[in-house]
Amino acid sequence: MSVTAETAQLMDAVYRNQRHVYDLTRKYYLLGRDLLIDRLEPPFGANVLELGCGTGRNLIEAANRFPNAHFFGVDISQEMLDTAQRNIDKAGLSNRIRLARGDASDPAAADPFRITSFDRVFYSYTLSMIPVWREALQAGAARLAPDGRISVVDFGQQERLPASFKALLFAWLRGFHVTPRADLETVLSEIAEKSGRSQSFTPLYRGYAHYAEIGPSPEGLYSPATK
């Protein structure tokens, strides 16, 4: 079995039952997702890609927030995509949100959309779940328009929170195959430097989460206040 097939099988198993209560439970600890959505600010007619779209929650929120953009989601789990499509249909957004099954680490995963590049690419609490997360970031950068922007929100290293809290949280996350990436900032910086782009990285909520952007130039990059 290939790594991609093995990962798909694992994610389907993890989310086969969880997907029904995923959005109800995750809103209490997947902090910073709405900040990322607010910060997308896609230009008129923009194409926005989420790699690791899960239940479609972020795509729906973003589509409602930015009615003049088009949204696309890729996920490796068919179970999650089935739920996402139902949620999108229920929200009446099937004409503006399209989905495809694929590996986020593969630049070709977005090929079914027949779009060469995207104005925005974002990752919301997915890199901590993707085994080849560095490749997933590189895949997004490969599909980014020259003046586009990558946005990331994910678990931080809890650097300003009690050590006991970090130990308990990380142990709990491991049960869901989640591993906060300690070298996320370094990898983002390397990708930005290699592509001639700029990068910002900000801890949120005392290090509980991190918010980052890779953009076309230093001007205009947003640095949310550290909390």
The residue ranges of every structural domain in the chain are: 3-215
> pLDDT-derived band of residue 212, with 50, 70 and 90 as boundaries?
very high
- Distance separating alpha carbons of residues 99 and 78, to the nearest angstrom: 11
Supply the pLDDT for residue 30.
87
Q: How much is the average pLDDT of 74-102?
A: 96
Looking at per-residue pLDDT, the higher value among 173 and 25 belongs to: 173
User: What's this model's pTM, rounded to 2 decimal places?
Assistant: 0.85
For the stretch 26-66, pLDDT in tens is: 554 689 999 999 999 999 999 999 999 999 999 999 999 99
Q: How much is the average pLDDT of 125-138?
A: 95
Residue 164 has pLDDT above 60, yes or no: yes
Paired with 201 in beta bridges are 212
Fold of 3-215: Rossmann fold (3.40.50)
Q: Cβ neighbours of residue 75 under 8 Å, at least 6 residues apart? A: 52, 53, 54, 81, 84, 99, 101, 102, 104
- Distance separating alpha carbons of residues 183 and 94, to the nearest angstrom: 37
Closest CA to 118 of 136, 94, 99, 142: 142
- Distance separating alpha carbons of residues 123 and 51, to the nearest angstrom: 6
